[in-house]
Amino acid sequence: MAKKKDETPKNPKVHEELKGFDIKINEFGEIKSSLNIDKLNKFLDDNVEDKKLKEKYEKENPTKKDDAE
């Protein structure tokens, strides 16, 4: 006989600030979230590096490497 899989959904590991965060898309395509969007944006600004902004900054301010090492 085949083994039955445990179908109880496991909650993913999340950052302490995002405990209880849940996001769904309803039948009209609207995003529904259990967390205020401003709080989510603040968390992302504080914890996630924006690659596009980093590349733009590096192009505008190139750093010189020391050859004296």
In the chain, where the domains are located: 21-60
Q: Does the pLDDT at position 69 exceed 50?
A: no
Element (H, E) at 24: strand 23-25
Give the separation between CA 37 and CA 35, rounded to whole angstroms. 6
> What pLDDT is recorded for position 29?
94
Q: What is the pLDDT of residues 8-58, one digit of tens each?
A: 667 778 888 888 888 899 999 998 988 888 988 898 888 888 888 777 777
Is the separation of the CB atoms in 42 and 15 below 8 Å?
A: no
- Summarised one tens digit per residue, pLDDT across range 4-22 is 776 666 777 888 888 888 8
